[in-house]
Amino acid sequence: MHQLSHMTWEEVASAVEGGTDTAILPIGATEQHGPHMGCGMDTAIAHRLCSDVAKECDVILLPTLPYGCSVGHSQRWPGTLALNPKTLIDVISDLGDWVKSSGIRRLVLVNGHVTNEAPLRCALEILRARHDGFMLALVNTAQISTRVKDAHFADADDWHANDAETSLMMHLYPEIVRESKLAEADDEDRTGSCLFSHPVNRTSKNGVTGTPSFASAEKGAELYQWMCEDFSSLLQQAVKEEAPLNHRYYESVLKI
């Protein structure tokens, strides 16, 4: 596996020159996950998924970013360490500049936290325009495929620390889950009829939305297998993909 943190600069250069020019960047969050689960859940899943799939794919695994845009969780519950959206945009666009300078042509942002998506998409737009020919993609771990998305949304549309997430952690990192708290952790999704996007302290009593009491390690094992299989398929496509047309970004059809 090409793990950047374990490679020398000569080894990075050799890998890129040898054709390994796709990198994946796991991005998580540090935030409350109810009374039954540790605050590092989002980072844990992004890191583990990328690490496991990178063993089978010809990509360079970048170090995991453990902080994200978690400002919507409010300061009601201790443990959340959040970046503002603009900060996350700047962090990713800065990192992207350096990834490109290493000769990497493709960068896949692998997002383990729902509300990172908008800032990450903004950073993608900035980098795509800044570096002609630099290919970027954004993959959300909970929406890698239809079956993975369906499993995550099964018990709530505005889910958090729910059945799917708890099951994944029971399988992958059982030490993160407090099983004695599961029976009382369930909380309903109150956002169905809302027009406005309310912070979590105004939609959940305990930081949970969904039914973690339904979780099991067996369900988590099956879901994680789907995630690995479907993400691996995406990366197999990514390492080969080229743009449909080879037009330069700053090249105009107008002859001025």
Rounded (to 5) percent helix, strand, coil in the chain: 45, 15, 40
Residue that wins the pLDDT comparison between 254 and 76: 76
In a domain, 245, yes or no: no
Identify the helix (H) or strand (E) that includes residue 150: helix 146-152
Percent of the chain whose predicted confidence (pLDDT) is above 70: 100
CB neighbourhood size of 126 (10 A): 17
* pLDDT given at position 251: 84
* Location of structure tokens 């844990």: 44
* pLDDT given at position 252: 86
Closest to 125 in 3D by CA, of 87, 91, 93: 93
Is the per-residue pLDDT at 256 higher than 70?
A: no
Percent of the chain whose predicted confidence (pLDDT) is above 90: 97
The pLDDT tens digits for 190-229 are: 999 999 999 999 999 999 999 999 999 999 999 999 999 9
Q: What is the DSSP letter of 205?
A: S
Q: How many domains does the chain have?
A: 1
In a domain, 256, yes or no: no
In a domain, 251, yes or no: no
In a domain, 164, yes or no: yes
Instruction: Name the H helices within 21-116.
Output: 41-54, 85-101
What residue numbers bound the domain in which 123 lies? 2-191+198-238
CATH number at residue 160: 3.40.50.10310
Q: What is the DSSP letter of 113?
A: S
In a domain, 253, yes or no: no
In a domain, 250, yes or no: no
In a domain, 255, yes or no: no
Q: Would the pTM count as exceeding 0.95?
A: yes
In a domain, 52, yes or no: yes
* pLDDT given at position 253: 84
* pLDDT given at position 172: 98
